[in-house]
Amino acid sequence: MTAGQYFRDIFDTVQSVFIGMKITVRYIFMKPVTVNYPEQHLTFAPRYRGIHEFELNKCIACDLCAKACPVDCIYIEKTGPRRIDKVTGLVEESDPKNGQLTRFAIDYSKCLFCALCTEPCPTDCIHMGKLHDLSGYSRGEAVVEFSELDKKGQRTPLPLWIERNRATIPWVQDEFDRVRAGKLADNGGDIPKI
Ligand code: SF4
Ligand code: SF4
């Protein structure tokens, strides 16, 4: 190596450090684009597609959602056909002519959140929700049994972090109360019916 090459290498190194530090210093004074989640509430787009919300008392078990699903991750088990009562707009479980929906489950290890299942539903009882976290300790926990949740009055599962942080973060407590009360999210990401 020549002396000229030696000093050029030193110059290049110092110059590249200077350029890198210039960018770093510029970013120090810029407004952060990240949010301190979950302490700060993220605002989702109106068409955001989160974990489904399911109204079992409107489901006629027609299987159209399961047939529309491109990855076959909706599991439906029933004892017979179900029909909507014209007066109440709901499936009357006590009516002996109605079958029972013994299982309605979605496997979120396969779900694409494409919303294609919401489009063909004739009773508009399956929706894309607003919650997005489904962390768990086993792969089996990715399968959400909506028919079991309905027994607790819930339309959608409650993520673990909501259960754990609700006492300290007001908006998390609001979401907890909403889900426990069986209320749907304000605006979901369903595919609009034409
Ligand atoms: S969102 Fe898409 S992938 Fe998920 S259950 Fe519905 S149709 Fe299937
Ligand atoms: S399409 Fe709607 S009514 Fe039919 S099985 Fe699916 S959720 Fe139930």
Question: Candidates 53, 63, 64, 69: which one to mutate for ligand 1, based on the most atoms within 8 Å of Cβ?
Answer: 69
Atom 8, ligand 2: residue with shortest CA distance: 59
| Contact 74 CB / ligand 1 (< 6 Å) | yes
List the chain pLDDT tens, one digit each, 194 residues. Answer: 788 999 999 999 999 999 999 999 999 999 888 888 888 887 778 889 999 999 999 999 999 999 999 999 999 999 999 999 999 999 999 999 999 999 999 999 999 999 999 999 999 999 999 888 888 889 999 999 999 999 999 999 998 888 888 999 999 999 999 999 999 998 777 887 76
Coil/strand/helix, residue 129: strand
Residue 108 tokens read as 């979120």
Could you identify the residue written with the tokens 């019916």?
193
Could you identify the residue written with the tokens 């909706």?
74
Give the ligand 1 atom nearest the CA of 72.
8
| Contact 77 CB / ligand 2 (< 6 Å) | no
Coil/strand/helix, residue 191: coil
User: What local confidence, expressed as pLDDT, does residue 163 receive?
Assistant: 87
pTM: 0.83
Q: Please give the distance, rounded to the nearest whole angstrom, from the Cα atom of residue 66 to the centre of ligand 2.
A: 8
DSSP letter at 34 equals -
| Contact 101 CB / ligand 2 (< 6 Å) | no
Tens digit of pLDDT for each residue in 91-116?
A: 999 999 999 999 999 999 999 999 99
DSSP letter at 22 equals H
User: What local confidence, expressed as pLDDT, does residue 190 receive?
Assistant: 83
Q: State how far the alpha carbon of 62 is from the alpha carbons of 143, 161, 162, in Å.
A: 21, 34, 33
Give the ligand 2 atom nearest the CA of 62.
4
Is 50-180 in CATH node 3.40.50.150?
A: no
In 3D, which of 55, 49, 58, 56 has the Cα closest to residue 188? Answer: 49
- The amino acid present at 15, given as its one-letter code, is Q
Q: Please give the distance, rounded to the nearest whole angstrom, from the Cα atom of residue 106 to the centre of ligand 2.
A: 12
User: What local confidence, expressed as pLDDT, does residue 132 receive?
Assistant: 86
Atom 1, ligand 2: residue with shortest CA distance: 121
User: What local confidence, expressed as pLDDT, does residue 107 receive?
Assistant: 97
Backbone angles phi, psi at 161, to 5 degrees: -65, -30
Could you identify the residue written with the tokens 């979120």?
108
